[in-house]
Structure 1
Amino acid sequence: MSDSPHTSVTVDEETPLKTVPGSGDPQNGAATAVAHRASRFRDKHHRWLAICSIICGISCIGIKALINSVKAEWEPNEQASQRFSRRARKFGIISIVTWLSILALAPPLMALGSYLVTLQD
């Protein structure tokens, strides 16, 4: 074991360790906390819309929205990323609107079917 190379790391002992999150520079920490909260609600790639469209919409279209959202996040080209993001938004909205229209049209279609069956008799 004595033949193995060792790396030496110098430690600056004058730099205090920040053991508690947010205990650093208070002015910079406050700005970082505000920016973090603001970025949490900004969904540039429409990820939350895609997830909601899987749960509260037609799930196969919602999965397509989620795939486009992930592609938008990982795409290095800005124009392609925006194109995938627009597709994710479009598929998410289509999924939710389709599900709501099915829910709204189900009772009238059932009533129409019942009426047609009574006319047949």
Structure 2
Amino acid sequence: MSDSSQTCVKVEEELPLNVVAGSGDALNDDSNRQKPSSPGWSKAFSCCEDKHHRKLAICSTVCGCCCIGCVALINSAKAEETENPVKAEKYLRKAKKFGIISVVTFISILAAIPALLGLISYLLTLYD
């Protein structure tokens, strides 16, 4: 047994009630405050805040032509990793361009399918 005595100090501390979800880990931190947002879309879903066009590249891969969307995603990753600002700007322009091209291509294919089906049915009725 040891001769040292152990003392228990009871510290009473009042914690303020945090009403914002997820703000309990940083108390009294001004950088963690949420800014008031306008009604409607949240800034978390805005593509304008994405400086590497990563969201556009992922959406163009999933919801667009995937081969062109992959090129957009690769350029987005290169823009994030490149430390040269001139090359990064070039990759950002390419990522944005290929992302938009991918989505527009997919939408045009979806719009062309009913038109082509109508044309085929018209040609088949003329053939009969």
TM-score (norm 1): 0.71
> Aligned to 1:21, which of 20, 25, 30?
25
Amino acid paired to 2:26: G
Query: Structure 1 residues 30, 74: CA separation in 2 closer, same or farther (over 3 Å shift)?
Result: same
Q: Which runs of 4+ in 1 moved over 3 A?
A: 32-35, 38-41
d(CA) in 2 for partners of 1:83 and 1:98?
A: 22
Residue of structure 1 in register with 2:31 after alignment: 31
TM-score (norm 2): 0.67
d(CA) in 2 for partners of 1:33 and 1:66?
A: 32
Residue of structure 2 in register with 1:100 after alignment: 107
d(CA) in 2 for partners of 1:59 and 1:34?
A: 36
d(CA) in 1 for partners of 2:117 and 2:99?
A: 27
Q: How does 1:1-121 map to 2 (within 5 A)?
A: 21-23=25-27, 26=28, 29-34=29-34, 42-121=49-128
Structure 2, unaligned runs of 5 or more: 1-23, 36-42
Structure 1, unaligned runs of 5 or more: 1-19
Q: Secondary structure at the match of 1:106?
A: helix
